[in-house]
Amino acid sequence: MLGDEYIELRKTVEAFAREVVAPVIGDYYERCEFPYDIVRKMGAMGLFGLPVPEEYGGMGGDYFALCLALEELARVDSSVAITLEAAVSLGAMPILRFGTAEQKEHWLPKLASGEMLGAFGLTEPGGGTDVPGGMRTTAVLDGGEWVIDGTKAFITNSGTDITGVVGVAAITGRNGAKPEISTILVPSGTPGFTVSKKYSKVGWSASDTRELSFSGCRVPEENLLGERGRGYAQFLQTLDEGRVAIAALSVGLAQGCVDESVRYVGERTAFGNAIGRYQAIQFKIADMEARVHTARLAYYHAAERMLAGLPFKKEAAIAKLVSSNAAMDNARDATQIFGGYGFMNEFPVGRFYRDAKILEIGEGTSEVQRMLIARELGLGA
């Protein structure tokens, strides 16, 4: 049972998504244009600061509040939802969790207001899931500065006009054959830091995703985020939390598929009846609703354990796996229900279908989630 504050937040974001985002996001999506006006309004609502303490300009809420907002946004559009998720979960939260007092005071007020977006540079072109083994980006101390060299791939929010900082995971030394990984904050516009043009993507077309290059990029030694050599542990925690958020986003997309399908089958007629009167359609939508309900319970449970300070790695992996599968399955079924219209970009389900697949890949593939679940059960090495 959700408390009153959660219920009110959910209603507020639902109305915003329906009244502000839905009427215009299709045009942004087709133009592959970042929705600065929508992001500005989200900032004014305080969405980027939901889990950030009030002392740093945030709303003083918690991570579950962020998840509820993501679900409601994704019911309408995932590009807007992933922009919020990445900005908070990957941009602001590592600074809140691991930053110094000075770093928090400098970065968090701007990130919490939505005036600035943050990003997290982990994935590399030849690495993918193979972290730390596939990491090639290095950072070497020289005269009180970190000198960073390397390339990052598929980084969300990294090249917008309001992007202000990227947390870069890099090898800062070695303990024998084992790489020492640390995270370093790199402000946008730093010499030696190059942002590529936007990727041409299958989905999430109104979000910003780019490759980043670092060549002799120098930042002060105090830009180290957290302890030197603790970067790997830090981003594992970041990804565990992020998986709960992506699960919420996935549930939102899956719910949006149900919403659109229920509306459509009441309007579309065939053989003299609304198609919603035919049992084949009813059963398909019933299965879609069951997937959403199950997936929502999974991410609620993971978030509950996280907020209680209990171990939640397995629960986060389960939530991410179940929810992303639900999103993909519901997008496919909704497109089938819409028939030829589901293949048209003017209908939201076509956008949902294009957006769903990445949910089984980003922030840990479905295979990685199964691996994590098996490990938590004591299986494998």
Q: Which residues are catalytic?
A: 363
Closest by CA to 241, choosing from 306, 323, 326, 296, is 306
Q: How far apart are CA 327 and CA 82, in angstroms?
A: 14
Residue 247: name the closest of 140, 337, 113, 369 by CA: 369
CB 180 within 8 A of CB 228: yes
CA distances from 71 to 84, 251, 319, 374 (A): 11, 6, 13, 27
> What separation in angstroms does the CA of 3 have from each of 68, 148, 255?
12, 46, 21
Q: How far is CA 304 from the centre of its chain?
A: 19
Beta bridge mates, 214: 150, 193
Q: Which of 240, 231, 241, 238 is nearest to 132 (CA)?
A: 231
Strand extents, DSSP E, the chain: 117-121, 138-142, 145-156, 163-175, 178-187, 193-195, 209-220, 224-225, 269-270, 273-274
124/322 Cα distance (integer angstroms): 26
Intra-chain end-to-end CA distance of the chain, in Å: 39
Query: What one-letter code names the amino acid at 279?
Result: Q
| Helix (H) / strand (E) containing 315 | helix 313-338
